């Protein structure tokens, strides 16, 4: 089965750091672009970051640029999001999502991991 | 950034009803428009991509249309399992952006 499983969420103080991971299985990881999408409690969806299959082309939302770093390890079929200088507005569920090359739509999603930034 | 606006924000409907949700982009996105369904506590699910291409496994009662700046998602005969929140998303240019969502509730 095609599957994405996130981990690494938790409670962190403002200004702190957290590293999220996403383990992929059931598909050829290097053939797909990957994304992080987040959802604040009771709110809509917000795209956070993108990385292409080789890990060369990377994009960020302005709201996280300079604070978050996306990376992938194709040998381990894993995606990561290093989050520094966390703010209360970064609180939410973070989803790992696979991207379709032909449309950049997000066709496979993980179950998400909760990040809470609070003192 | 491209702004995506959905209407309505919520609607009440009965099983069997035909439901249409509209999504407008602040500038042309050709057909790079995707639709997702999200149920409470669950991850979103891709229904339609490139405006009208039904994702594998999605029932044919779901359909999408439009191009340029105006798009629609239609559910031809609402089923009990379709009560959820629906989001449109543009993948024409980064930052990818979503509409605010349309909550479909039971009348």
The stretch B11-37 carries a mean pLDDT of: 97
Interface test with A, best of B31, B43, B52 (most A CBs within 10 A): B43
Does A107 contact B at CB distance below 8 Å? yes
Cross-chain Cβ contact A107/B101 below 8 Å: no
Q: For residue A40, what pLDDT is reported?
A: 98
> Cβ(A53)–Cβ(A32) under 8 Å?
yes
Please give the torsion angle defined by the CA atoms of residues B14, B17, B22 and B23, in that order, rounded to the nearest 10 degrees.
70
How many angstroms separate the CA of residue A54 from the nearest CA in chain B?
19
Is B50 a residue whose pLDDT tops 90? yes
B interface with A, Cβ–Cβ < 8 A, is 1, 32, 34, 36, 38, 42-46, 49-50, 53, 55, 87, 89, 91, 94-101
For residue B23, CA distances in Å to A54, A116, B82 come to: 33, 31, 18
> Cβ(A73)–Cβ(A30) under 8 Å?
no
Residues A22 and A32: their CA atoms lie apart, in Å, by 14
Q: Which residues are CB-contacts of B66 (< 8 A; sequence separation ≥ 6)?
A: B23, B31, B33, B51, B52, B72
Residues B29 and A69: their CA atoms lie apart, in Å, by 28
Is B107 a residue whose pLDDT tops 90? no
> Which residues on B lie below 8 Å from A44 (Cβ)?
87, 98-101
Q: What is the pLDDT along chain A (119 residues), one digit of tens a residue?
A: 999 999 999 999 999 999 999 999 999 999 999 999 999 999 999 999 999 999 999 999 999 999 999 999 999 999 999 999 999 999 999 999 999 989 999 999 999 999 999 99
Mean of pLDDT over chain B: 97
Cross-chain Cβ contact A45/B44 below 8 Å: yes
Backbone phi, psi, residue B58, to 5°: -85, 130
Q: For residue A93, what pLDDT is reported?
A: 98
Is B68 a residue whose pLDDT tops 90? yes
Q: Which residues are CB-contacts of A55 (< 8 A; sequence separation ≥ 6)?
A: A71, A72, A74
Closest-CA residue to A85 (of A10, A37, A13, A20)? A13
Is B49 a residue whose pLDDT tops 90? yes
The stretch B37-62 carries a mean pLDDT of: 98
Is B106 a residue whose pLDDT tops 90? no
Cross-chain Cβ contact A47/B97 below 8 Å: yes
């Amino acid at each position: 089965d095609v599957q994405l499983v996130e981990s690494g969420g938790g409670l962190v103080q403002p200004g702190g750091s957290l590293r999220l991971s996403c383990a992929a299985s059931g598909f050829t990881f290097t053939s797909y672009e990957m994304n992080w999408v987040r959802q604040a409690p009771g709110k809509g969806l917000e795209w956070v970051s993108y990385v292409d299959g080789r890990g060369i082309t990377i994009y960020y939302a302005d709201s996280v640029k300079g604070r978050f770093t996306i990376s992938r390890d194709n040998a381990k079929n894993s995606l990561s999001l290093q989050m520094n200088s966390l703010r209360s507005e970064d609180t939410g569920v973070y989803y790992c999502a696979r991207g379709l090359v032909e449309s950049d739509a997000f066709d496979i999603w993980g179950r998400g991991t909760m990040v809470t930034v609070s003192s | 950034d491209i702004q995506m606006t959905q209407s309505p924000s919520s609607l009440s409907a009965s099983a069997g009803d035909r439901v249409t949700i509209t999504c407008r982009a602040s500038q042309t996105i050709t057909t790079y428009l995707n639709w997702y369904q999200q149920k409470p506590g669950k991850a979103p699910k891709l229904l339609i991509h490139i405006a009208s291409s039904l994702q594998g496994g999605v029932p044919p009662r779901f359909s999408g249309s439009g191009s340029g700046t105006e798009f629609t998602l239609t559910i031809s005969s609402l089923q009990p399992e379709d009560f959820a929140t629906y989001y449109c998303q543009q993948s024409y240019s980064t930052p990818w952006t979503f509409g605010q969502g349309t909550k479909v509730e039971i009348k």
